[in-house]
């Protein structure tokens, strides 16, 4: 019974969702909305579980003075500060006429000045910093990728150089000036070559991957629906 | 396929029908709109009548009346202008029942060229490099647009229960204690269309949702029951389940409008099947049938060949390497939610990796981005340790929620890789811009890295920085490959044959469509194109 009930629930829900995709009637659309709502509600409760897990792991590290425990302490402090400012601070509004903080039934976080300041000046800044690092990682990855070890790697290198130069305004300008105009457009512009590479070979390869992924996802869905794979029961089948 | 699987599929179909019927019936009709007239088929739309025309006649707008009343027209009625003819309505197929198509013959006074069916790509004809033909076409387009702007049509709608068409929204209370009013936000006003228009798709219908879901806070005080009732009564006018509608279309020119062409008692209908997605339904049925067929065939024990996948063969080696080095392994399930197929596939692969790690006595670290995924992965790893006979080695604190933010997660995992000096990294699931940050950090730390993802846009980064990459369908096939369970391998065979059939159909259709269009059979060629056409929404 412990194995059959979750299986029946999963199969019934799966079939329902599959059918509703093709049935646009109002009842089916409502059903999908309601199911999505349930998922969001469960997700909200799960967030409490997640935060509790993170705090527990961090607290144990601090308590035991494990390696790199100051990082764990920073996590706890960050959580406490943002939580306090976001939740408790949300109940006070700065009244500009009296210059005092007044109690309110709760305001949106974006109207909470302290929370907003911390979010935009601390979190967003650090987030952008990590994102910016991507440029350096790209440079190092490109250096490793662009080595013509064999024919296919050489083709990759050639295509990459063309696209890079085609996207750079200066090289595209000189290509046009030295090659395209003197030959009266007998030679394609660098931009056109770049577009051709991106539109045809690149799109064809991408679609082939998407095509395979779609069918593989369908096969995975069938395996789950008929119970050959039961990851929701932390197992892989019978 | 197991017998219980078939049973459950059948139960699923039955419950689908039951839930659909329940949901259709569950939207409680309001007392205010319960007396809606009986259903009138859209095909029964009547021709314009003198009564309907005279009913809408009213005094012309004057400048001395600042706030126009709801029934005060924006144009002066001029019987000398010819009205549009043959107004008919048609239900839009394959929708929830929230759209109705109106089509009419143009007024004889409408000299504007017909509206193009598709949006035109406009280019400035003043550009010097523009070819002559294109410049002429652009100039003609501009002239046509100017002609269309000089006249037009106005489409009005009312419920059959209402006596007059409303041109302007009524004033309704804002809900504030000061008794202030605002224009009705749910008013579906007259639609003004340019000349040359022959049809209009009315999509302004709104379905009422159960009480409570549509509540909105309009003031500091919570709305009273009476406020909510008024709001729902107002909104019910736009719900096609409780009303039929009358339409009138008038031709307008220079501030004047013709007599109307009208239809009465029509409404859109919800459809039980979306015909635009019939091709997808056929592919799913065909492929699903093939996959089920091969799963059933595989039960006979016939050996099935699956090509070696280097990334999956290397899983055991990677865990073994970590064991020899005495370092932990890291597993990331990506950015998908617990319901995403890529995350489900990650769970299956994690089960295998965790079992091998448990057998070797190697620690596994699983930082998660989603609390629900964390809960599921904990169960997967716990079961793997139990299966390996090492439940005492399972450490729940190694599978934890790290953060829900993308780059914070990338920073956290990168820090983990460096600090914990992990020997092997497994990235399985959906990844986005952070993929290269994770993969490059792992490569710099000297970890052996195996990736499985369906995010094809990130594949170049992973291929560059990682040792093994399972691309898209290889990733989804990982569970079958790792388990070697015949029925799972059978599903891979079914999937491959589906792919073959669809690929052959696509190539054959392309060739056939090309040949047919060359031979002048454009209709057949278009039909073949439609076979593979996907319409979003």
As a whole number, mean pLDDT of residues A96-115 equals 64
Spatial distance between the Cα atoms of B317 and B467, rounded to a whole number of angstroms: 12
Strand, coil or helix: what is B150? coil
| DSSP E strand stretches across A87-204 | 92-95, 100-103
Task: Nearest chain A residue to B477 by CA: give it.
Answer: A216
CB-CB neighbors (< 8 A) of B351 in chain A: 231, 234-236
- Of chain A residues 146-205, which have a CB less than 8 A from chain B? none
- Of chain B residues 137-156, which have a CB less than 8 A from chain A? none
| ipTM score for this prediction | 0.87
The pLDDT value recorded for residue A27 is 86
Q: What is the per-residue pLDDT across A72-93, written as a single tens digit (0 to 9) for each?
A: 999 999 999 988 888 776 666 6
The pLDDT value recorded for residue B82 is 95
Q: Which residues contact B286 (CB under 8 A, 6 or more apart)?
A: B498, B501
In degrees, rounded to 5, the angle at the alpha carbon of residue B347 between the alpha carbons of residues B346 and B352 is: 95
- CB within 8 Å: B19 and A134: no
Nearest CB among B9, B220, B339 relative to A225 is that of B9
Strand, coil or helix: what is B221? coil
Q: Pairing state of beta strands B181-183 and B191-194? A: unpaired
Spatial distance between the Cα atoms of B27 and B213, rounded to a whole number of angstroms: 12
DSSP state of B491: H
Nearest CB among A8, A213, A232 relative to B8 is that of A8
Strand, coil or helix: what is B323? helix
Q: Does B207 touch chain A (CB under 8 A)?
A: yes
- Of chain A residues 61-100, which have a CB less than 8 A from chain B? 67-68, 71
Q: What is the per-residue pLDDT across B238-287, written as a single tens digit (0 to 9) for each?
A: 999 999 999 999 999 999 999 999 999 999 998 999 988 898 999 999 99
Spatial distance between the Cα atoms of B493 and A157, rounded to a whole number of angstroms: 35
Spatial distance between the Cα atoms of A21 and B38, rounded to a whole number of angstroms: 30
Tokens standing for B87?
């107004």
Task: Nearest chain A residue to B295 by CA: give it.
Answer: A223
> In sequence order, what DSSP letters do the residues of A132-152 get, joined into one string?
HHHHHHHHHHHHHH----SHH
- CB within 8 Å: B400 and A57: yes
| Dihedral sign from CA coordinates of B425, B430, B435, B438 | negative
Q: Assess whether pLDDT exceeds 60 at residue A237.
A: no
Contact B232, B211 (CB under 8 A): yes
Task: Nearest chain A residue to B93 by CA: give it.
Answer: A24
- CB within 8 Å: B498 and A145: no
| Global pTM value | 0.77
CB-CB neighbors (< 8 A) of B24 in chain A: 25-27
The pLDDT value recorded for residue B128 is 64
Spatial distance between the Cα atoms of B506 and B512, rounded to a whole number of angstroms: 10
Nearest CB among A71, A140, A222 relative to B491 is that of A222
Question: Is B135 or A95 the better-scoring residue by pLDDT?
Answer: B135
Q: What's the mean pLDDT when you consider all of chain A?
A: 85
Element (H, E) at B452: strand B448-453
- Of chain B residues 221-280, which have a CB less than 8 A from chain A? 241, 270-274, 277, 280
Contact B441, B463 (CB under 8 A): no
- Can you list the alpha helix ranges (DSSP code H) found in A64-150? 69-83, 113-118, 124-145
Length of chain B: 537
CB-CB neighbors (< 8 A) of A31 in chain B: 19-20, 23
The pLDDT value recorded for residue B21 is 46
The pLDDT value recorded for residue A236 is 45
Closest among B345, B317, B287 to B483, alpha carbons compared: B345
Residues of chain B with pLDDT under 50: 1, 8, 12, 16, 19-63
User: With the CA atoms of B515, B516, B519 and B522 taken in that order, what torsion angle do they form, in degrees rounded to the nearest 10?
Assistant: -140
As a whole number, mean pLDDT of residues A138-157 equals 83
Q: Assess whether pLDDT exceeds 60 at residue A40.
A: yes
Strand, coil or helix: what is B124? coil
Q: Assess whether pLDDT exceeds 50 at residue A168.
A: yes
> In sequence order, what DSSP letters do the residues of B44-88 get, joined into one string?
GPPPP-HHHHHHT--PPP-TT-SS--TT--SSEE-TTSPPPEEEE
As a whole number, mean pLDDT of residues A207-219 equals 90
- CB within 8 Å: B6 and A226: yes
Contact B445, B292 (CB under 8 A): no
């Amino acid at each position: 019974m412990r194995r059959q009930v979750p299986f029946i629930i999963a199969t019934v829900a799966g079939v329902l969702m599959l059918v509703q995709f093709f049935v646009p009637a109002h009842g089916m659309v409502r059903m999908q909305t309601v199911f999505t709502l349930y998922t969001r509600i469960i997700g909200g409760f799960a967030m409490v579980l997640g935060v509790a897990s993170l705090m527990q792991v961090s607290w144990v590290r601090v308590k035991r003075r494990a390696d790199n425990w100051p990082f764990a302490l920073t996590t706890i402090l960050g959580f406490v500060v943002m939580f306090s400012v976001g939740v408790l601070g949300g109940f006070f509004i700065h009244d500009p006429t009296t210059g005092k903080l007044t109690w309110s039934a709760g305001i949106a976080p974006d109207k909470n000045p302290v929370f907003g300041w911390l979010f935009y000046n601390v979190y967003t800044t650090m987030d952008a910093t990590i994102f910016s690092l991507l440029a350096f990682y790209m440079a190092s990855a490109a250096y490793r990728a662009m080595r013509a070890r064999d024919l296919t790697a050489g083709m990759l290198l050639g295509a990459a150089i063309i696209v890079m130069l085609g996207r750079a305004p200066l090289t595209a300008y000189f290509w046009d000036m030295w090659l395209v105009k003197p030959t009266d457009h007998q030679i394609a512009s660098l931009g056109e070559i770049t577009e051709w590479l991106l539109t045809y070979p690149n799109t064809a390869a991408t679609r082939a991957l998407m095509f395979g992924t779609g069918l593989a996802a369908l096969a995975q869905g069938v395996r789950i629906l008929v119970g050959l794979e039961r990851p929701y029961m932390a197992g892989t089948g019978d | 396929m197991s017998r219980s699987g078939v049973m459950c599929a059948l139960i699923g179909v039955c419950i689908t029908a039951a839930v659909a019927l329940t949901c259709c019936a569950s939207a409680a009709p309001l007392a205010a709109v319960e007396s809606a007239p009986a259903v009138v088929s859209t095909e029964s739309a009547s021709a314009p009548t003198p009564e309907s025309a005279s009913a809408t006649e009213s005094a012309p707008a004057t400048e001395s009346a600042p706030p126009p009343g709801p029934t005060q027209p924006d144009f002066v009625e001029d019987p000398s202008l010819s009205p549009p003819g043959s107004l008919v309505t048609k239900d839009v197929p394959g929708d929830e029942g929230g759209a109705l198509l109106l089509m009419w013959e143009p007024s004889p006074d409408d000299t504007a060229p017909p509206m193009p069916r598709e949006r035109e790509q406009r280019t400035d004809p003043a550009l010097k490099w523009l070819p002559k033909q294109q410049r002429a076409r652009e100039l003609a387009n501009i002239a046509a647009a100017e002609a269309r702007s000089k006249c037009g049509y106005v489409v009005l709608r009312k419920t059959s229960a209402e006596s007059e068409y409303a041109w302007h929204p009524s004033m309704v209370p804002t809900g504030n204690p000061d008794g202030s009013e605002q224009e009705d936000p749910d008013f579906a006003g007259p639609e003004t269309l340019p000349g040359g228009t022959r049809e209009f798709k009315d999509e302004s219908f709104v379905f009422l949702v159960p009480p409570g879901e549509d509540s909105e806070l309009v003031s500091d005080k919570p709305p009273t029951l009476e406020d909510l009732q008024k709001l729902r009564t107002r909104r019910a006018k736009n719900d096609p389940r409780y009303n039929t509608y009358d339409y009138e279309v008038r031709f307008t020119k220079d501030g004047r409008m013709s007599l109307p062409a009208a239809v009465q008692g029509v409404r859109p209908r919800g459809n039980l099947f979306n015909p635009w997605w019939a091709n997808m339904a056929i592919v799913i049925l065909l492929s699903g049938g093939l996959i089920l067929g091969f799963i059933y065939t595989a039960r006979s024990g016939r050996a099935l060949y699956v090509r070696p996948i280097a990334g999956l063969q290397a899983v055991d080696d990677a865990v073994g390497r970590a064991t020899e080095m005495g370092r932990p392994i890291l597993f990331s399930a990506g950015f998908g939610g617990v319901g995403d197929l890529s995350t489900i596939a990650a769970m299956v692969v994690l089960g295998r990796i965790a079992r091998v790690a448990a057998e070797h006595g190697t620690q596994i670290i699983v930082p998660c981005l989603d609390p629900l995924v964390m809960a599921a992965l904990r169960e997967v790893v716990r079961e793997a340790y139990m299966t390996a006979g090492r439940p005492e080695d399972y450490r729940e604190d190694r599978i934890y929620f790290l953060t829900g933010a993308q780059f914070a997660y990338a920073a956290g995992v990168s820090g983990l890789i460096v600090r914990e000096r992990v020997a092997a990294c497994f990235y399985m699931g959906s990844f986005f811009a952070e993929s290269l940050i994770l993969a490059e950090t792992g490569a710099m730390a000297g970890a052996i890295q195996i990736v499985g993802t369906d995010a094809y846009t990130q594949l170049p980064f992973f291929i560059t920085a990682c040792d093994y990459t399972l691309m898209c369908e290889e990733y989804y096939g990982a569970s079958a490959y790792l388990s070697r369970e015949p029925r799972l391998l059978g599903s891979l065979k079914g999937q491959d044959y589906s792919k073959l059939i669809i690929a052959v159909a696509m190539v054959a259709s392309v060739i056939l469509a090309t040949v047919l269009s060359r031979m002048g059979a454009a209709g057949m060629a278009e039909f073949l194109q439609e076979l593979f056409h996907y319409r979003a929404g």
